[in-house]
Structure 1
Amino acid sequence: TFIANQHNDERLKKLFVSLFFETRLPDFLQQKINEFGLSAVMSLSGLNLSLLVGLIFLVITPPYRYIQDIYFPYRNRNFDILLFALVVMIFYAYLAGFAKPFMRALIMALTAFILSLRGIKIINFTTLAVTLAIMIAFSPRSLFSIGLWLSVIGVYYIFIFLRQTNFSKVWQSYLFLGVFVFLAMSVIARFLFPLFSLAQLSSPITSVLFDFFYPIEVVLHIFGFGYLFDKLLTRGLDIDVSSLSIPTPELFFYIFLLLSVLSYFRKEAFWLLCFSSATFTAISVFVAF
């Protein structure tokens, strides 16, 4: 393919095709991704959609503003560009085989777009519930998709964080949101996939870096320069990471789920959720040492 041909290393060929089109990775490469705690960013989901929409805004806004000011200044520029971006995302979803986590994010974006036209608050749990209902209605098998449910839970934790915190600075919310979601999702994910490594602790940092890495790689691959960071990425894949199995205890898992639900209603439950997830990770680090 056009993407794969830009790389010489077979691992990078498979890695980028999977990153852009949600193809299945070989077991050895998936193991490496899990060891580094990169499974979330490697999944084609809402993060990718938001970054792509942001990239479209960045590229389209300057020329569109120039044309709009001359020919149709009465138009809502943000509305037009967002509508165009969503159409592009629908086509991209088709190219990616309608990957379920990405479709969840796309349906949520379309739902939010429609609600915003009616002046309805869009960042709420109703939007998430409606999105999930639509997904299941169109594809009942989605009900049994672990990836979809992990994606939904991840969004739920984002909403919980935004609901129960009130940081004065945007960068503070951005930073602590990444840490909170990592800690909370670690408890959930390791009940299903108990692999743990110390390298996973870098996940909040790599998630921030991914926000820049992904759109840059999209642009580079569009113009045929996807190989520019191959040496650096190859060195990363060559790093030997030791890992071990530390599953989430069943009783703790169910208590954690209960706290997750209660966190919607009570701030005390939210902070207890934060404490318990941080404690679980701290114990895992101690065991790993």
Structure 2
Amino acid sequence: MICVMQLASKKIYKLQKRHFAFIYFVLFVVFCLNVHLKFLDFCEFLMQDRYILKVLKNYEKSKNNKNYYVLHLAYKDVIIYTTTKQKINSNKISINFAAKNKLDFYDYLKARFYLPSYKIQEEKQEDEKALISYFKKQHSDKKMQEFYLALFFAKPISNELRTDVNYYGIAHLLAISGYHLGLIYSILFFTLMYFYKYLQKRFFPYRSIHLDLAIVIFIFLFFYFILIGQVASFFRSFVMAIVAFYFVLKSIKLLSFSHLFLCFMICISLNPSFLFNIGFFFSCLGVFYIFLFLHHFKFKSLLNALYFESFVFLAMIIPVLYFFPLISFQQFLAILITPLFVVFYPLVLFLHIINCGALFDGYLLKFLAFKMAGDYFHLEFKYFILYLILSFLAIFNKHLLIIISIINILCFIVLL
């Protein structure tokens, strides 16, 4: 078997245009097939009278001095929002939806929509999976339960915790993505490496440790993907990791925008709803800015690494502001918190495995409660689009990277 490390010394080549043309044609066919399957799901949804659904989120809101409850319900891979005056205690309900005739396929394809409801009845509480329950029971504080269940199992979080996280600008650390996949891969690789080397020396010295462990780890990551569901950011990173591994095996140029675009197209073809998913958009855009920096610069010193971390943070300010218009000086701490997460994540994972997950709860609650000056900064759509165009033009001119950073810093100057 060919060792992955040996492949690094081979001549790197690019896929030819005819290869990409064939791949994209196949992906287009897959995309059309999945859109058709979504339409069949849509027709099936409309034909039903009563639904038994799982409650993903359940919180109280107030409007015009009237209280009501907002429910996020899961139907296959679709999230349905509805409201009720009735307090729901179970995580599973039976429900009827009104005004279904106003729902069109486009809304259904976006996988998130609102429908009014009636005749809501609580069903028997659905037990959580044993592993999720094991992690959850280690925390007495509800916010900490939300924090760690989101961190490890991509569970939805409350608006309060989302605001706390946005003040620090670290939503990308809580949402399971490529950063987490890389950490999980590294943890598993260095853990399994010692056992593999012991067996390799005695039974199969001719095999490649990098190739064999990669296959084992990807199988583990696939089951992890099944456990947490179709999380858009993790799905993108999982597909990208598999494509990257194949590129390494075939000595194909890895860090290229065509690689990113190919992974984007694969994800969209497999799940067309990702076209409308904000998390998927952020995930792809974050990787784009990483590739953009590496396209123009190389890591030659610690200063380059610091500028890389700062550039990726600054580059994402305006895209995030357009969807989540909270800006705070506190967000600059994300530049330091992001690299520290490399230590934090495996540490708290280990603590949860040994049933000591609540060790840092008190410190984390104080950390999340801390607030610096902040304000809501609403960005118009035209400026958002102009910024994205400028970002793509930066592929051809590295001086535009500096301009991108300066534009984002202007947002903090406005706040000041």
TM-score norm. by structure 1 comes to: 0.93
Q: Does 1:283 align with 2:413?
A: yes
Name the residue aligned to 2:231: 99
Name the residue aligned to 1:40: 172
Equivalent pairs, count? 284
Structure 2 residue ranges without an equivalent (≥5): 1-132
Partners of 1:65 and 1:175 lie apart in 2 by: 35
Name the SS of the counterpart of 2:205 in structure 1: coil
1:153 aligned residue (273, 278, 285): 285
After superposition, give the CA deviation of every residue in 1:167-203 in whole Å (9 maximum; x if it has no partner): 412x444322221111010011102211111211111
Structure 1 residue ranges without an equivalent (≥5): none
Higher strand share: 2
Name the SS of the counterpart of 2:357 in structure 1: coil
Name the residue aligned to 2:273: 141
Name the SS of the counterpart of 2:313 in structure 1: helix
Amino acid at match of 1:283: I
- Please give the root-mean-square deviation of Cα atoms over the aligned residues, in Å: 1.6
The Cα of 1:111 is off from its aligned counterpart by 0.8
Name the SS of the counterpart of 2:229 in structure 1: coil
Amino acid at match of 1:217: V
After superposition, give the CA deviation of every residue in 1:185-244 in whole Å (9 maximum; x if it has no partner): 001110221111121111111111111111111222122221221221122133244531
Name the residue aligned to 1:212: 343
Name the residue aligned to 2:8: none
Name the SS of the counterpart of 2:137 in structure 1: helix
Partners of 2:173 and 2:331 lie apart in 1 by: 12
Specify the structure having the higher radius of gyration (Cα).
2
Name the residue aligned to 1:265: 396
Higher helix share: 1
Name the residue aligned to 2:66: none
Name the residue aligned to 1:236: 367
Correspondence 1:1-289 to 2 at 5 A: 1-169=133-301, 171-278=302-409, 280-286=410-416
Partners of 2:189 and 2:245 lie apart in 1 by: 15
Aligned 8 A contact 1:22 1:43 in 2 = yes
Aligned 8 A contact 1:46 1:101 in 2 = yes
Partners of 1:275 and 1:17 lie apart in 2 by: 36
Name the SS of the counterpart of 1:253 in structure 2: helix
After superposition, give the CA deviation of every residue in 1:137-170 in whole Å (9 maximum; x if it has no partner): 111111111110111000000000001113412x
Aligned 8 A contact 2:327 2:412 in 1 = no
Partners of 2:134 and 2:305 lie apart in 1 by: 34
TM-score norm. by structure 2 comes to: 0.65
Partners of 1:83 and 1:204 lie apart in 2 by: 33
The Cα of 1:23 is off from its aligned counterpart by 1.0
The Cα of 1:95 is off from its aligned counterpart by 0.8
Aligned 8 A contact 2:255 2:291 in 1 = yes
Q: 1:271 to 1:235 in 2, by over 3 A?
A: closer
The Cα of 1:250 is off from its aligned counterpart by 4.4
Partners of 1:216 and 1:262 lie apart in 2 by: 40
The Cα of 1:29 is off from its aligned counterpart by 1.3
Partners of 2:143 and 2:369 lie apart in 1 by: 11
The Cα of 1:131 is off from its aligned counterpart by 0.9
After superposition, give the CA deviation of every residue in 1:104-147 in whole Å (9 maximum; x if it has no partner): 00000011111221111222112211111111111111111111
Partners of 1:180 and 1:162 lie apart in 2 by: 11
Amino acid at match of 1:131: C
Amino acid at match of 1:34: N
Structure with higher RCO (Cα < 8 A, 6+ apart): 1
Amino acid at match of 1:45: S
Moved more, 134-143 or 58-67: 58-67
Partners of 2:399 and 2:163 lie apart in 1 by: 37
Partners of 2:386 and 2:278 lie apart in 1 by: 20
Identity of aligned residues (%): 31
